[in-house]
Amino acid sequence: MISTGPASTDSAPVTGTPRVAPAHQLSLDELDAPLRSTTFVVVDLETTGGSAASDAITEIGAVKVCGGQIIGEFATLVDPGGPISPFITVLTGITDQMVAAAPTIASVLPSFLEFAAGSVLVAHNAPFDIGFLKAACQVRGHAWPHFPVVDTALLARRVLTRDEVPNCKLATLAGFFRAETTPNHRALADARATVDVLHGLIARLGTLGVHSLPELRAFTSQVSDEQRRKRHLADGLPQAPGVYVFSDARGTPLYVGTSKNLHHRVRQYFVASETRSRMGEMIGLAEAVRVVVCSHSLEAQVRELRLITSLKPRYNKRSKNSDRTIWLKLTSEVYPRLSIVRDLRPDGARYFGPLRSTRQAEQLRDAIHDAVPLRQCTDRLVPGRAVRAPCTLAGIGRCGAPCDDQVSPDDYAELVERVVHAWTSDVSDLISPLRARLSELSGHQRYEEAATMRDRIATLVRSCARTQSLTAFTRIRQLVAARPDGAGGWELAVMRHGRLVGSDVARRGVPPMPIVDSLVATAEAVDDGGGPGLVATVEESEILLRWLSEPGTRLVSATHAWFSPAAGAAGLRSWLAASDGARRHADPFADRRRLPVSHRPVRVRGRL
């Protein structure tokens, strides 16, 4: 335990039985005190993992500040009561040996609560740190003092723009505000850096008219009085699953959403739990809410998708272009080549897809070219007539050189059939040469090229598995499925060629089969589109597939057998999972703040 600062009463050593200051409600005068006279305790924790329920605290660091001055610091290692994983040790530098003689959280927690009593807690990503502290209090039987809490990460997202900072990570903000301490995943250093970030943000808030704690918390919640006054829009809405549509005074749709409880969800847009700034702007324009009650959540998801696709509301970011797809096309020529297109045409060509993006299509095309020597040029080729001299790709064995008439149409057609066969049934025709090339590159320690090859194989596996799964599903003329509704009844759905055409619920005690028969008789009629994305959008078909794969779902009837190729790409999911694990192992900090390679010396302030 380290207790420093001019006032020795700001913290207490872990000896004896520390006195915990009782929790108290701040008075109105205190709440309206200006920020410059508010006492903040900036806290940071290091832990053995990310779950407050199952992981433990390994270090606590806190800095008490008021009026821009540090008046005390609190820091201690904590014995977590178990081993620290190697990943956490690499991330924080805290080892089992370092915490072996450290006090336990049972003895540290009362001292910290006394140190922080009567102040405002500040943390970067506050739900994480405060969640661990609350969990520790609950386990040890301490009443949690309901501190006012300020989250500097949330505050930064409200104050700063992407033109100023690319993200709101602590390391990024510390650099932006020129903090005197560099964050290094140690609790006290990160708390000191957060102090400088807090002061920088408060300086920004002053120009926005935020000068007191209530104004600061209201600014963070982003819920204006105008938003609260519109709570009447939720009045009378049913407490049932369905889709809601916000619209402006002219009836123009602004936002489409879905919920299992329409009344509860719409009401949330007018209270502090709604923190998205775009939603606050949308509520300011909204004048009406229209709802569509659905039988169950699956129907609600599908209706939401269809409404977003058709209405394209300005405040919906996803699914606006769910009807747009990317395809990889084998052109209809004597010597076909691969081409990336957006539309299916009745031109005699063969199409593979749908694919998620142009980038995925490019990676898939490159993987196929690595496995099969198809031509990559755009020349119009005629058998028996050379167009030009072979290119470099022919010289290194990456192309059969049909431009120089070095390959017959029949031999080239065999290469094309290998590609089509992999698309539709046995993916090993493409995977085998790629995996052999991967082994060769790894054996020669050409690891960057091997990583690129591994990513191309993964893209090929994912693309083929998705296409084969969608193709098998959308070829079924009619499929009826049921899933328990959690209340003793059944959620029913009728699907045709990958499109939801009917839905209902058989309540508890009601025989489901008569409802199924009625549902099938009145379901929407659709024609066979011939493949994924032609009768329903690909996104809708994937929603149905996810629902069908959930535990408890049962198939009632189907007009065709539902199967996937025995040697298809789905059988390589275990290899794909191992590949993803290898990628994460190679870069364990890919989704975290990176440790600094070098940093300037930390200036210790206020240490006795």
The pLDDT tens digits of the residues spanning 304-330 come to: 999 998 888 988 887 666 667 788 888
* Strand partners of residue 120: 40
Shortest CA distance to 170 belongs to which of 213, 129, 221? Answer: 129
Confidence of residue 384 (pLDDT cuts 50, 70, 90): low
Lowest-confidence region among 158-162, 377-381, 497-501, 528-532:
528-532
What number of other Cβ atoms are within 10 A of residue 238's Cβ?
A: 11
Rounded to the nearest integer, the mean pLDDT of the chain is: 81
3-state SS string for 544-568: HHHHHHCCCCEEEEECCCCCCCCCC
User: Which conformational region is residue 123 in: left (phi greater than 0), alpha (psi within -120 to 50 degrees), or beta?
Assistant: beta
Lowest-confidence region among 52-66, 178-192, 450-464:
450-464
- For residue range 473-510, what is the model confidence (pLDDT) as tens digits? 888 899 999 999 888 999 999 999 889 999 999 999 89
Question: 239, 293 in Cβ contact below 8 A?
Answer: no
CA distance 280 to 269: 8
- SS3 at position 104: strand
Has residue 7 got a pLDDT over 50?
Answer: no
pLDDT, position 271: 66
Residues of the chain above pLDDT 70, percent: 80
Question: Is pLDDT larger for residue 409 or for residue 571?
Answer: 409
- SS3 at position 304: helix
CA distance 591 to 114: 35
- SS3 at position 61: strand
Confidence of residue 272 (pLDDT cuts 50, 70, 90): low
pLDDT, position 331: 85
Question: Is pLDDT larger for residue 453 or for residue 275?
Answer: 453
| CA atoms lying within 13 Å on the CB side of residue 194 | 32
pLDDT, position 13: 36
User: Which residues in 143-252 belong to E strands, given as ranges?
Assistant: 149-151, 242-247
pLDDT, position 197: 94
CA distance 456 to 464: 12
CA distance 466 to 608: 63
In whole angstroms, how far apart are CA 153 and each of 68, 128, 163, 167?
A: 19, 11, 17, 10
Token pair for 148: 């006012």
pLDDT, position 46: 94
Question: Is pLDDT larger for residue 344 or for residue 479?
Answer: 479
CA distance 158 to 222: 8
Burial of 459 (0-12, 13-18, 19+ CB in 10 A): buried
Confidence of residue 356 (pLDDT cuts 50, 70, 90): confident
Domains detected in the chain: 2-220 (3.30.420.10), 222-311 (3.40.1440.10), 326-445 (no CATH), 476-558 (no CATH)
Confidence of residue 61 (pLDDT cuts 50, 70, 90): very high
- For residue range 587-601, what is the model confidence (pLDDT) as tens digits? 544 444 444 444 444
Q: In b/e form, how buried is each residue of 497-529, taking b as 16+ CB within 10 angstroms? A: bbbbbbbbbbeeeeebeebbeebbeebeebeee
What is the sign of the dihedral through the CA atoms of 47, 49, 50 and 51? negative
Question: Is pLDDT larger for residue 431 or for residue 148?
Answer: 148
pLDDT, position 461: 83
Taking residues 222-232, what's their average pLDDT?
A: 70
Has residue 283 got a pLDDT over 60?
Answer: yes
CA distance 498 to 500: 7
Has residue 237 got a pLDDT over 80?
Answer: yes
CA distance 176 to 170: 10
Task: Give the best-scoring range by mean pLDDT among 26-30, 33-37, 506-510.
Answer: 506-510
Question: Is pLDDT larger for residue 226 or for residue 433?
Answer: 433
- DSSP letter at 532 equals T
Length of the chain (residues) = 608
Q: 291-294: which pairs have CB atoms within 8 A and are 24 or more residues apart? A: 291/237, 291/238, 291/242, 291/243, 291/244, 291/245, 291/262, 291/266, 292/242, 292/243, 292/244, 292/245, 293/238, 293/240, 293/241, 293/242, 293/262, 294/240, 294/241, 294/242, 294/243, 294/503
Has residue 129 got a pLDDT over 60?
Answer: yes
Taking residues 154-178, what's their average pLDDT?
A: 89
Question: Is pLDDT larger for residue 222 or for residue 226?
Answer: 226
Question: Is pLDDT larger for residue 599 or for residue 298?
Answer: 298
Taking residues 203-225, what's their average pLDDT?
A: 74
pTM metric for this prediction: 0.57
pLDDT, position 229: 76
CA distance 428 to 430: 5
Question: Is pLDDT larger for residue 225 or for residue 301?
Answer: 301
Annotated catalytic residue within 24, 142, 185, 497: 185
Question: Is pLDDT larger for residue 130 or for residue 534?
Answer: 130
To the query of whether residue 146 is one of the catalytic residues in this protein, the response is no
Token pair for 9: 């009463």
**Cβ-proximal residues to 341 (8 Å cutoff; 6+ apart), any chain:** 326, 327, 328, 329, 351
Residues of the chain above pLDDT 90, percent: 33
As a whole number of Å, the end-to-end CA separation of the chain is 14
pLDDT, position 571: 67
- DSSP letter at 571 equals G
Token pair for 35: 């920020």
Has residue 130 got a pLDDT over 50?
Answer: yes
CA distance 124 to 357: 35
Shortest CA distance to 33 belongs to which of 72, 66, 73, 69? Answer: 66
